[in-house]
């Protein structure tokens, strides 16, 4: 049984490991929402199943599916993937699921952030989100992990850590008036340090252009190892992403991490600009409670939105000329892991990508 703790991870000696540290496994949710996923979510379900299959080659995977979709998910997913019944409002486990933390003995607990569907009634993506708000607690119950209930509206895609005390985030998201308008930047930073047990917060300005999450950092940049980050890039000065990435590069290059090391920045060129097609829009259910998706809308496509598994990288592919270059770069940056690509446009159409639909469960590294 999971219990809600009155202390904090900092009090108890728990920390958030970097994503490139060892995992016990991975959690996902199953898509079904018709106003997010076209054609009754069937193309998205096929893409999610491919992602789960790719990750399972490296570590255990659990997928939460609703009562209505449990049988369908069980039939479409590989037999070795565990499928459990969990209700949710959509399928973004990174943002609605728990952020898992561990201590030096490998004990596992989780942080349950406040969730308001990326902005609540001030620019949020859908309403209601009451089932999403319960997902983290349900996952922690299944994992038999203690629960920290954090007093901060935040999503798991809004930050990255290096496992050695450094966190990267964006002002566009965490300082947005639709998240925590009652808190100052200093108060938010203090809560990040208390709940994630980090020592330094690196603030970037904006996330990827037209990212409907209000600029989640996991679509813009991530740590590939301590002291090194990977940054979404474009060489096209006419692309709105050009100035965003240039500004992020300048800010990262001027920073040091929590241990005083200058940050090394690797650039990964984004795919060519993509938009939603008329056909893709026609396949969506009409809805008055979700953000409308219109033909011609720019999609926030990024190769940074990948999942790091034990011994593997599962990255998005877009049938784009930059796919090969991006995969080659990830192979160089993660020479000890196998890089696997999954065509992920159907996930992108829903508003995110592979990192957004996954959540790692860490374990303590074995010591010789």
pLDDT in tens, 157-183: 999 999 999 999 999 999 999 999 999
Known catalytic residue at 356: yes
* Predicted pLDDT at 364: 84
* Predicted pLDDT at 368: 43
* Predicted pLDDT at 365: 75
pLDDT in tens, 349-363: 999 999 999 999 999
Fold of the domain built from segment(s) 4-362: 3.75.10
CA dist 147 and 141 (Å) reads 9
Question: What's the pLDDT band for 366 if we cut at 50, 70, 90?
Answer: low
On the question of pLDDT at 14 being above 80, the answer is yes
Phi/psi of residue 179, each to 5°? -110, -75
Kindly list the domain boundaries of the chain, sorted by start residue. Answer: 4-362
What's the rounded mean pLDDT across residues 99-119? 97
* Predicted pLDDT at 2: 75
Q: Does the pTM of the predicted model rise above 0.85? A: yes
On the question of pLDDT at 1 being above 70, the answer is no
Average pLDDT, the chain: 97
| H-helix segments, the chain | 9-12, 42-56, 70-76, 93-96, 132-143, 171-174, 185-196, 240-253, 278-282, 323-333, 345-349
Phi/psi of residue 151, each to 5°? -85, 50
Cα–chain-centroid distance for residue 2?
24
* Predicted pLDDT at 115: 98
* Predicted pLDDT at 367: 53
CA dist 40 and 66 (Å) reads 14
Question: What's the pLDDT band for 334 if we cut at 50, 70, 90?
Answer: very high
């Amino acid at each position: 049984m999971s219990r809600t703790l009155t202390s904090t991870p900092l009090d108890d000696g728990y920390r958030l490991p970097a994503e490139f540290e060892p995992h016990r496994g991975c959690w996902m949710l199953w898509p079904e929402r018709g106003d997010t996923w076209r054609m009754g979510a069937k193309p998205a379900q096929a893409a999610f199943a491919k992602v789960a299959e790719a990750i399972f080659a490296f570590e255990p995977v659990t997928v939460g599916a609703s009562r209505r979709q449990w049988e369908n998910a069980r039939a479409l997913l590989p037999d070795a993937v565990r499928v459990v019944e969990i209700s949710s409002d959509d399928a973004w486990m990174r943002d609605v699921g728990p952020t898992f933390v561990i201590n030096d003995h490998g004990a596992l607990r989780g942080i349950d952030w406040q969730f308001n569907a990326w902005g609540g009634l001030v620019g949020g993506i859908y309403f209601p989100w009451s089932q999403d708000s319960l997902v983290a607690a349900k996952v922690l119950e299944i994992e038999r992990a203690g629960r920290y209930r954090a007093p901060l509206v935040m999503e798991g895609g809004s930050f990255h850590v290096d496992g050695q005390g450094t966190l990267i985030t964006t002002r566009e998201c965490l300082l947005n008036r639709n998240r925590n308008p009652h808190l100052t930047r200093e108060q938010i930073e203090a809560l990040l340090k208390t709940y994630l047990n980090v020592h330094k917060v690196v603030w970037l300005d904006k996330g990827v252009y037209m990212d409907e999450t209000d600029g989640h950092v996991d679509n813009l940049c991530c740590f590939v190892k301590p002291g090194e980050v990977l940054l979404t890039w474009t060489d096209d000065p006419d692309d709105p992403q050009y100035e965003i990435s240039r500004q992020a590069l300048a800010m990262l290059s001027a920073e040091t991490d929590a241990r005083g090391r200058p940050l090394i920045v690797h650039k990964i060129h984004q795919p060519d600009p993509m938009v939603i097609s008329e056909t893709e829009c026609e396949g969506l259910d009409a809805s008055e409670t979700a953000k409308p998706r219109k033909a011609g809308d720019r999609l926030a496509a990024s190769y940074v939105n990948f999942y790091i598994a034990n011994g593997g990288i599962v990255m998005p592919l877009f049938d784009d000329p930059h796919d090969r270059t991006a995969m080659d770069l990830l192979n160089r940056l993660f020479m000890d892991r196998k890089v696997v690509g999954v065509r992920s446009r159907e996930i992108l159409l829903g508003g995110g990508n592979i990192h957004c639909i996954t959540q790692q469960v860490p374990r303590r590294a074995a010591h010789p």
